[in-house]
Amino acid sequence: MLEIGNPAPDFILDTDTQGTITLSNLKGKRVVVYFYPKDMTPGCTQEACDFRDHYSQLEDNHTVIIGISKDSLKSHSKFREKENLNFILASDPEGATCEAYGVWVEKSMYGKKYFGIERATFLIDENGFLQKIWRSVKVKGHVDEVLKSIKG
């Protein structure tokens, strides 16, 4: 299990707008990596729109936002266009990055068990170390918490 102070697991993922993104290439900037279950679902849309609406504040604090799900690049493009998203969406179709961050978990709905992405956010410092971890994120007010940690 990842803990604060650990090096953030590096990744190279395809994005819908920037080719590939490599976490280790972002050293020198803070990075918010947030994992979400599925494009265009209510909670995921609200979370993405909250990050969109606070983008300039995050950017002013030298912070890059990367949203990661297992959705395809085509799905990410539709999601970006529909919600006018202004940050990086990366696709992890094989789930290796989800596994590395410990967010590919067993879930339960209506008594049925299945595996899916736990909504989680990781704040990575300028040197590539985990500064803050939020697991089982509740969307309402979450981006404000992230901003508070960045500014604090």
Q: Could you please report the per-residue DSSP string of 64-110?
A: EEEEEES--HHHHHHHHHHHT--SEEEE-TT-HHHHHTT-EEEEEET
- Tell me if 128 sits within 8 A of 5, measured CB to CB: no
The pLDDT tens digits for 22-67 are: 999 999 999 999 999 999 999 999 999 999 999 999 999 999 999 9
pLDDT of the residue at 108:
85
Question: Which position among 21, 23, 44, 85 bears the catalytic label?
Answer: 44
Question: What is the overall mean pLDDT for the chain?
Answer: 95
- Tell me if 66 sits within 8 A of 88, measured CB to CB: yes
pLDDT of the residue at 114:
85
Residue 7 belongs to a domain: no
Q: Is 44 a catalytic residue?
A: yes
Whether this prediction's pTM lies above 0.75 is answered by: yes
* Average pLDDT value for residue range 111-119: 91
What is the domain extent for residue 64? 12-151
Q: Looking at residue 96, which CATH number applies to its domain?
A: 3.40.30.10
Residue 2 belongs to a domain: no
Percent of all residues in the chain with a pLDDT value above 70, rounded to a whole number: 100
Tokens of 25: 């290439």
Structural domains counted in the chain: 1
> pLDDT at residue 4 above 90?
yes
Residue 4 belongs to a domain: no
